[in-house]
Amino acid sequence: MQSDDIAWGVIGKGQCAYKAPSKTQMFCRNEFNLTGLCNRASCPLANSQYATVREENGVCYLYLKVIERSHFPQRLWEKVKLPKNMTAAVKLIDENLLHWSKFVRQKCKARLIRIHQYLIKMRRMQLNQHQKIIPLARKIERRETRREAKALIAARLDNAIEKELLGRLKEGVYGDIYNFNQKAFENVLDQEVEMEEEEEIQPPQRQFIEDFDESDDDGDDDEDIEDAAYTFDADSDDESDEDDASENEEDEASDNQEEGSDIDMEDIGSKKKVSFAPLPKAAPTKVSKKATKKRRGAKIEIEYENEATAPRKKIIS
Amino acid sequence: MFPRKNIPVKKIVKQAIEAGYTDIMIVHEDRNKTKPDGIILCHLPEGPTAYFKINSLKYSKEIKGVGESTSHYPEVILNNFNTRLGLLISRMLVCLFPQDPNFVGRRVVTFHNQRDYIFFRHHRYEFKKEGEKTALHELGPRFTLRLKWLQNGTFNPTEGEYEWVLKRHEMETSRRRFFL
């Protein structure tokens, strides 16, 4: 004989497998429980006449339990499919639970409403395309990072890139952008310098040119060495510039030449008066030899006539 | 470059095709929004779609001795893409850069494939010793990519036709067998 009170006395106060206690409340884990709480009115085991609403795959069902079927556990619960329309479903619930307790009726309807609400939310969420979270397996991640490190070492990226770039250069992909033939480069530079020389030689060519004997030229070389001891700054600069055939210093040389030549043009007489024995006769002729000497090997030499040099030798000795 | 604002990818793809773009690149950040961890590269119209996973990203600031990049068109180097799949991917990557045979500015972008990992580097180069040595100065970020899947059409992960999918269990049978 079924007695709900005795059942509740045993289950509710004592041991029940479906009890799930929390800090504030006692829950019931029985799947047919209407509210989910462990109460006298909510316990499906302690109520012979009971009903629930449950949802399976989006379809709601009304489950009914009556005392007449309490001896047939297999057929205990009657399953009624509820229509998808909520008002129709509520009506159906009212029909089936016509004379049942108010509590059960109320809670069934409330539960139905709640179920419908969360179904709507689920459908809406599916439309929004939320991100799918895929778990990363740690072991596999570790393996992949290790393999990547090994691949990086095997790749030797810098070498590969350099090789590729050099290959492209050799194939001529870049055309003439990069000039690498050093000789050609230097040739171009030489040409430029020669252009400069020719331009700067022009001012000195203003000097007057006279004929002279070749023997004088030879002798003058020796005299130049002796002259070096006595020469002023302008002269010595000229000589030193003559010796240096380098491109870089040619600018200086040409400048000095200009200065020297200009000075000589103007102050020939005065210079010689200071450094050597007075040589008024030598003044006009000395200038002439500069231009000719330059033409030979881009050198400048200041030459003096034999007459002038003779007294100098005496001074040296 | 636009923020995505949760617009579904298919819509983005449609709009881009109408606007006349050639490629779409969607960068995916991890959940905490700290670092990008995936790239969806979609070649338009009707081109293949590839999804890469980004490992080991290093920004320019983190690289020591980094240089500033300029706005010249870079040259592209694609190394070691040997298989058919690799060639497909390499062509997709090249499409992102303007193809201009007049090289201005010595800027190089390198995609190097080694054992199914694609290494990306960005350098400025100089030829030294009359074309026998190159000096590389690293600009810009460096990262590695790993191809996760490749689809034949535009982005359609649920219904589209996949040309290649990385299925770890089936495919990593041998240590010496690589796909890219």
Read off the pLDDT of each residue in A223-247 and give the average, rounded to a whole number: 45
Identify all chain B residues contacting A178, using CB atoms and an 8 Å cutoff: 127, 131
A170 touches chain B (CB under 8 A): yes
- What is the average pLDDT value for chain A, to the nearest integer? 73
Please report which confidence band the pLDDT of residue A76 belongs to, taking 50, 70 and 90 as the band edges.
very high
Residue pair B25/B16 in contact by the 8 Å Cβ criterion:
no
Q: What is the pLDDT of residues A33-57, one digit of tens each?
A: 999 999 999 999 999 999 999 999 9
Residue pair B8/A129 in contact by the 8 Å Cβ criterion:
yes
User: Domain range spanning residue B13?
Assistant: 9-171
Nearest to B30 by CA among B48, B11, B54, B7: B54
Phi and psi (nearest 5°) for B129? 55, 50
Residue pair B127/B69 in contact by the 8 Å Cβ criterion:
no
pLDDT of residue A128: 77
* Predicted confidence pLDDT, tens digits, chain B (180 residues): 777 777 777 888 888 888 888 888 888 887 677 888 888 888 887 888 898 999 888 888 888 777 777 777 888 888 888 888 888 888 888 888 888 777 777 888 889 988 888 999 888 888 877 767 888 888 888 889 998 888 888 887 777 788 888 876 666 667 777 777
Q: Which member of B8, B79, B121 has the closest CB to residue A129? A: B8
Cβ-defined contact of B115 to A154 (cutoff 8 Å):
yes
Q: What is the ipTM of this complex?
A: 0.77
Cβ-defined contact of A147 to B132 (cutoff 8 Å):
no
Kindly report which listed range (A189-198, A306-315, B38-47) carries the lowest average pLDDT score.
A306-315
pLDDT of residue A203: 59
- CA separation for the pair B43, B50 (Å, rounded): 9
What is the CATH classification number for the domain harbouring B46? 3.40.50
More confident residue, A195 or A291: A195
Q: What is the pLDDT of residues A99-119, one digit of tens each?
A: 999 999 999 999 999 999 999
Residue A225 pLDDT > 60: no
Asked if residue B68 is part of any domain, the answer here is: yes
pLDDT of residue A75: 93
pLDDT of residue B95: 85
pLDDT of residue B63: 81
Helix (H) or strand (E) holding A191: helix A182-201
Identify all chain A residues contacting B127, using CB atoms and an 8 Å cutoff: 165-166, 169, 178, 180
Interface A–B counts its CB contacts (< 8 A) at 77
Read off the pLDDT of each residue in A124-135 and give the average, rounded to a whole number: 77
Residue A237 pLDDT > 60: no
Helix (H) or strand (E) holding A88: helix A86-96
Asked if residue B178 is part of any domain, the answer here is: no
pLDDT of residue B162: 83
Q: What domain count does chain B have?
A: 1
Kindly report which listed range (A59-63, A120-124, A245-249) carries the lowest average pLDDT score.
A245-249
Residue pair A93/A20 in contact by the 8 Å Cβ criterion:
no
Residue A16 pLDDT > 90: yes
Asked if residue B148 is part of any domain, the answer here is: yes
Q: What is the pLDDT of residues A86-99, one digit of tens each?
A: 999 999 999 999 99
Q: What percent of chain A has pLDDT over 70?
A: 56
Cα-based distances in Å from A23 to A27, A33, A46, B115: 10, 20, 24, 56
Q: What is the pLDDT of residues A272-304, one digit of tens each?
A: 444 444 444 444 444 444 444 444 455 666 666
Identify all chain A residues contacting B168, using CB atoms and an 8 Å cutoff: 140
Give the contacts of A161 (CB within 8 A, at least 6 positions apart): B77, B79, B108, B110, B112, B121, B123, B125, B134, B136
pLDDT of residue A232: 46
Q: What percent of chain A has pLDDT over 90?
A: 36
Residue A23 pLDDT > 80: yes
Nearest to A262 by CA among A290, A304, A292, A225: A290
